[in-house]
Amino acid sequence: MRQMLIDFLNKQHRILIDTRDMETYIKMKAGSEYGGWAIFAQEIKKLESEGMLRPVISRKLLCNETRIYRCYRMIRSHPELMNASSTMMEYAQLPDSWHPKMAKEYYQNHLEEVRRDWKLIEPIDRFFKELQEKKEGMKARIPHRSYQLFRDQELLGKPRMQLILRKLNLTYEDLGCTVASDPFVYHVIKVQEKNSVLIVDDKHTFLYVRSAFERNDLHGLPEINLLILFEEHNRTTSLSYFQDLAAFHGKEAEFWYFSDIEPRKIVEWKKLHDHYQDYQIRPYLPFYERLLNQYLFTAPPLKRKSIESAEMREALALFPRTFQEKIRLLFQAKRYIPQAAFTLE
């Protein structure tokens, strides 16, 4: 059984090994000669004592009696696990060969994800290298570029691919994609010499806030003069049409932003802030304050894995210190507050 376990480990590309996966493999290989859980547990303990496996204590015990954990970390440096080590060494070398436009840091620290994502990363790497050789780029619609890269017109727009692009610090624009732009959606409430412009990224929030300000149902909140619906997928042009609003020509304007209190949305706001530096876009604190005060300790768990980044830390730094502390507390608990929870009542 010991050799079967070693063979299993040498076939693995990941570091964390589920105990049930090991047991299932042994049952299939040994068949009627499988000696039962007690013998299996003894062999796991031996591999642990020999330095091949280390229990992941945070995953808790699978069996209290035998003290076997649900998950173990494979120690690839062990001489008998050199097959697994050499495989991962091959993946460790891949990021160094990527095109300079592709960020490497995340994948260099998560080699198991290089193996998992490589079939989707390699076409992007090839695209940039071929583009460099041609010395020119051609614009393409997202579905067309997706088919060109992956022979799948929908893949580039799917959440998994968008996550990979974020890990590589790439955008659709980097891939030469043209994004179909929706009409510039805005609502003028009242034009004055000095105006407050509120930018929201959700149509339901847009309609709710518009209705509340039209009714003058403000509950003591500062007045808003213009409401804009922000297109996240088309950041570079979403606000450029503001200059076409003749009613605001020659008038002062302060720009504010409101969205979910969630890592990805915080980073997206920072990108908007950086792209339109002349507007000096800031978080609309009255709305954020309401969400934090009401839902900080009852917020739902994050639905997607968040990636800690320098961008996110820079974005949080634009909030006052008291807000920073509350938002960090929220993210450390792996929770978020959706803007759908916001109400002026």
Q: Specify if 90 maps to a domain.
A: no
What was the pLDDT predicted at 319?
93
Structure tokens at 182: 């929706």
Whether residue 303 lies inside any domain: the answer is yes
Q: What percent of the chain has pLDDT over 90?
A: 22
In contact, 243 and 255? CB cutoff 8 Å: no
- Secondary structure E strands in 53-153: 53-55, 61-63, 68-69, 71-74, 140-141
Closest C-alpha among 200, 191, 173 to residue 259? 200
As a whole number, the mean pLDDT across the chain is: 83
Contact 59, 71 (CB under 8 A): yes
- Quick check: is 127 in a domain? yes
145 pLDDT higher than 60 = yes
pLDDT at position 89 = 56
Q: What is the pLDDT of residue 71?
A: 92
- The total of structural domains in the chain comes to 3
Tokens of 345: 């009542």
Are both 192 and 304 inside the same structural domain?
yes
Quote the CA–CA distance of 287 and 165 in Å, as a whole number: 31
> Cβ of 68: how many Cβ atoms within 10 Å?
20
* Residue 247 in domain: yes
Sheet hosting strand 53-55, strand order edge to edge = 16-18, 71-74, 53-55
Backbone angles phi, psi at 162, to 5 degrees: -65, -35
**pLDDT above 90 for 211:** no
Please give the residue range of the domain that contains residue 27.
2-85
Residues 102 and 45 in one domain: no
* Burial class (CB within 10 angstroms; exposed 0-12, middle 13-18, buried 19+) of 77: exposed
- Domain boundary, last residue among 52, 85, 118: 85
- Please report where in the chains the tokens 């440096």 appear, as a residue: 77
Q: Is 316 helix (H, G, I), strand (E, B) or coil?
A: helix
What does the pLDDT read at residue 181? 54
Residues 42 and 154 in one domain: no
